[in-house]
Chains A and B, each alone.
Chain A
Amino acid sequence: MLAAGLTALTACGSGGGGSGAGAGTPRTGGTLTFAVGSDAGCTDPQQVGSNDTIYSVRQLVDSLTDQDPSTGKIVPWLAQSWTISRDARTFTFHLRPGVTFSDGSALTSEVVKANFDAVPKLGPLGLLAEGYLSGYQGTDVVDDLTFKVRFKQPNAQFLQATATHSLGIEAAASVRKTPQQRCAEGIVGSGPFTLQKYVPSQSITLAARKGYAWGSSLWKKQGAAYLDRLVFKILPESGVRTGGLQSGQVDAIGSVGRADESALKSSGVQLLARANPGVVFGLSPNNTRSPLTDEKVRQAIALGIDRQQIAQTVFPTGTQPATSVLAHTTPGYVNVGAALSHDPARAKSLLQSDGWTPGGDGVLQKGGKKLSITATWAPVAATNKPALELLQQQLKTIGVQLALKEQPVAQLAQLQTSGNFDLLFGNVTRADPDILRSSFSSKLANPYRLPATGLDGLLDGQAAEPDQAKRLDLVAQAQRQIVQHAYTIPVVELQTELGVAKKVHGVLFDASSRIQLHDAWIG
């Protein structure tokens, strides 16, 4: 077992990012204390959407598949193999034998079926998992270890979805509970750690599962985790998290901000960062609102943004400016950065040719109406406000007046439904390009009111394409169209940054830029 760990270390850190590569012999045992900023009030991975809580509950469950962070490829975990029907509507999985949940019950096709059958009834916190199973028709149990999942419509994204924490498999006893019970009492999984204690808004304590032997094919260490215990402390004040890590009261922290970086670095803390896959931070227009119905106006705004400056001024070190609507860590990402360059001269001439003339106050106008647009945002990330204020200054130089309107996060979903916005600032994390379809297809919820165009065909096409190469080709075309027509205006990638004490090794980012702690150890 130790030998396996040793070889693991030399291969550490490719693409996925990780801590302490090649630093000595891995040690078994010990407690890792990890400080996060918030508590979702729920310990059920199927119902948790916030990173701070995913970090802990991810360790409780295994998924059918895993996703290689460096290639985006889907690889075996609980499922040894799988096949996808040609119409991308039926997925057949073959489970690995001998897997048990921490209550002693065995992993069978029936249990997986019970999990998927219960997902649509999860309620408001389960919307992420419910979305992955949209159009779910049922699961057919072929034998103890073989089952078929059927969908009403082609659903190519489902394979990647089986790798997420949201579709982590729970024991039958947990699935039978109500969603509220699962949140409050925790769940039984087959993962490398089990839930020992949850004190709301205080801490989540996990203990290593003895006899764990069915880790993901991506992990370097076979068998049980190195660490005995994981304690996730909820420390809402960022200054307390940073100081706690520097003074050794905690071993690792989440959500490191740019302002904390130098202090942490000087005290020997390792900073781990990886861009979140999915739709980058950007300004998404309501495409039916004047003047944003005008493609030239949207394109001019896109050209008027200095993404490099925003990434380097506001966001943590290493954050990349957007070079597509998708972040570069998303499978199927293509670089269309040329269309997203900073070119204020072209932006101005584009607006001029469109009939906009300078007004007295430097703001362009047409037909007596000012080129004034409101960007709505929610304070979900500390970087949102400074980023938007910088955007405001940048757009001012091309004669566009950007007003900023802060809204509580609770209102975002409602705003999208009502369409009562000019531009929304935000991002979506998802390690599958199908997120483009959920966000920009005019046939679905269509929060940004895109017109029905050829883009819909591309997005539907990728969802129905079981061949990965062909699928990603359609995804590439879709990205080009979205950026070219400026249906959304990409700005900057979101980067997850963690601070980890020097003595901690093997903290690995998964494909969704969240963490796996099975291979982590304290030296």
Chain B
Amino acid sequence: MRRYAALRLAQAAGVLWAAYTVSFLVLDLLPGDPVSAMAGAGADQAGVDPAQIARLRSEYGFDDPIPVQYVHYLGRALRGDFGDSVAGGRPVTSVIGDALPSTLQLVAAGMALAVLFGGGLALAATYTARRWLRQLLLSLPPLGVSVPTFWAGLMLVEIFSFRARLLPAFGNGGLRGLILPAVTLAIPTGAIVAQVLAKSLLTALDEPYIQTARAKGAGRPRIHLRHALRNASLPALTVVGVLVGQLMANSVVIETVFSRNGLGRVTAGAVAAQDIPLVQGVVVFGALVFVLVNLIVDLVYPLLDPRIAAAGGRRWRPA
């Protein structure tokens, strides 16, 4: 178990370093730099003295050779210092810190709804004895996955805010403002939860131990919830790690559509402004969350299924 944990930690550190390095290189490959981006920010494009831009670029160190910049930034990042945002001048860590609570709120609410409705749908679809109802319910998740998030968001706003005037269309204002964004976020995520859970429930229900339980006279609800669901939820747990990443990625779109402040908006703005320190901070933070969640999932697995630790740390993956 200890070797297994050490291996996972080393892998996590490797992923973080790779995320940092790849994002650095990609940003460097982009034409332009933050100084030119700011100079062009007014949608106007003349009257800017190139010499002035060159001077500013050297002030910010953007004209240093790439390896020099890389070592400089990486050294600081290792000490937890991601520098200041070029556009706003505030420390990257405090920009992320300010935006985080609102995104956490959104992601948590989205995840809760996704598990509730995705899981509920999977249970209902596999429980019902009516064939047509099962087919109908099982066809919903693929639809949910394929609906573009921004479209779903705009439709919900149009219906519930602009027409029915029940909920606010924008802003971070309290619980009412959270409903529409969280529902939008939960649609694709809940669909995936439903797909995975329904599939493994159907598989589990075919297993011999279910027949044994049935033979012993257990009722349908008990078989479904106690026996099948318990085993079928293992693959769903694996998917959670991936889904957290998906939720964060979708928050970029959701926060833009619903004009919410948060990490997604910070990310979109930083990329548009080529605010390299801020983008780096966001990428490393995103990788950190992803790695942590997967680490937790990996470490929880052996507790649920001792065969995993025994297999020498090779992670069991559902079919």
On A, residues with C-beta under 8 Å from B are 39-42, 49-51, 123-125, 127-128, 130-131, 134, 178-181, 183-184, 199-203, 233-237, 239-240, 243-244, 246-247, 249, 278-279, 378, 380-381, 407-414, 416-417, 424, 426-430, 435, 438-439, 444-445, 447
Contact B50 A239 (CB under 8 A): no
Contact of B40 among A40, A178, A410 (CB under 8 A): A410
Contact B168 A249 (CB under 8 A): yes
Contact A249 B40 (CB under 8 A): no
Q: Given known contacts A178-B89, A413-B36, is B168 in contact with A40 (CB within 8 Å)?
A: no
Contact A184 B35 (CB under 8 A): no
**Complexed CA–CA distance, A428 and B36 (Å):** 16
- Using CB atoms, name the residue of chain B closest to A184: B90
Contact A247 B162 (CB under 8 A): yes
Q: Given known contacts A413-B40, A416-B50, is B154 in contact with A237 (CB within 8 Å)?
A: yes
Contact of B169 among A51, A236, A249 (CB under 8 A): A249
**B103 CB to nearest chain A CB (Å):** 12
Contact B43 A200 (CB under 8 A): no
**Complexed CA–CA distance, A50 and B273 (Å):** 13
Contact B43 A380 (CB under 8 A): yes
**A52 CB to nearest chain B CB (Å):** 10
**Complexed CA–CA distance, A407 and B154 (Å):** 28
Pairs across A and B, CB under 8 Å, 15 listed: A49-B43, A123-B59, A201-B261, A201-B266, A236-B256, A237-B259, A240-B157, A240-B257, A247-B165, A410-B36, A414-B32, A416-B46, A426-B44, A427-B45, A435-B47
Q: How many residues of B contact A (CB 8 A)?
A: 57
Contact B56 A124 (CB under 8 A): yes
Q: Does B65 contact A (CB under 8 A)?
A: no
Q: Given known contacts A131-B49, A183-B89, A414-B32, is B157 in contact with A39 (CB within 8 Å)?
A: no
Neighbouring B residues of A124 by C-beta, 8 Å: 34-35, 38-39, 53, 56, 86
Q: Does B312 contact A (CB under 8 A)?
A: no
Contact A240 B259 (CB under 8 A): yes
Contact B259 A233 (CB under 8 A): yes
- Using CB atoms, name the residue of chain A closest to B95: A200
CB < 8 Å A-B pair total: 189
Contact of B47 among A235, A244, A407, A438 (CB under 8 A): A438
**Complexed CA–CA distance, A438 and B86 (Å):** 27
Chain A at the B interface: mostly helix, strand, loop or mixed? mixed
Neighbouring B residues of A50 by C-beta, 8 Å: 41-43
Contact B269 A201 (CB under 8 A): yes
Contact of A413 among B45, B169, B266 (CB under 8 A): B45
In addition to A233-B170, A235-B170, A409-B43, 9 A-B residue pairs with Cβ atoms within 8 Å of each other are A42-B88, A124-B86, A125-B38, A235-B259, A244-B162, A249-B170, A408-B32, A428-B44, A430-B47
Q: Chain B, 190-219, contact with A by CB distance < 8 Å: what is the 0/1 string?
A: 000000000000000000000000000000
Neighbouring A residues of B85 by C-beta, 8 Å: 41
**Complexed CA–CA distance, A184 and B84 (Å):** 12
**Complexed CA–CA distance, A413 and B288 (Å):** 35
Contact A41 B43 (CB under 8 A): no
Contact of B88 among A41, A131, A202 (CB under 8 A): A41
Interface centre among B30, B43, B89, B95 (most CB of A within 10 A): B43
**A200 CB to nearest chain B CB (Å):** 7
Contact B31 A414 (CB under 8 A): yes
**A316 CB to nearest chain B CB (Å):** 16
Q: Chain B, 161-188, contact with A by CB distance < 8 Å: what is the 0/1 string?
A: 1110100111110000000000000000
Contact A200 B89 (CB under 8 A): no
Q: Given known contacts A123-B56, A410-B31, A413-B53, is B48 in contact with A427 (CB within 8 Å)?
A: no
Q: Given known contacts A179-B89, A180-B84, A249-B169, is B157 in contact with A410 (CB within 8 Å)?
A: no
Contact A199 B261 (CB under 8 A): yes
Neighbouring B residues of A128 by C-beta, 8 Å: 42, 47
Neighbouring A residues of B46 by C-beta, 8 Å: 279, 416, 426, 428, 435, 438-439, 445, 447
**Complexed CA–CA distance, A130 and B158 (Å):** 44
Interface residues of B in 8-44 (CB under 8 A from A): 30-44
Contact A41 B269 (CB under 8 A): yes
Interface residues of B in 76-99 (CB under 8 A from A): 84-90, 95, 98
Contact A429 B169 (CB under 8 A): no
Q: Does B274 contact A (CB under 8 A)?
A: yes
- Using CB atoms, name the residue of chain B closest to A438: B47
Contact A49 B41 (CB under 8 A): yes
**A427 CB to nearest chain B CB (Å):** 7
Contact A411 B256 (CB under 8 A): no
Q: Does B146 contact A (CB under 8 A)?
A: no
**Complexed CA–CA distance, A49 and B41 (Å):** 7
**A415 CB to nearest chain B CB (Å):** 9
Contact B45 A424 (CB under 8 A): yes
Neighbouring B residues of A424 by C-beta, 8 Å: 45
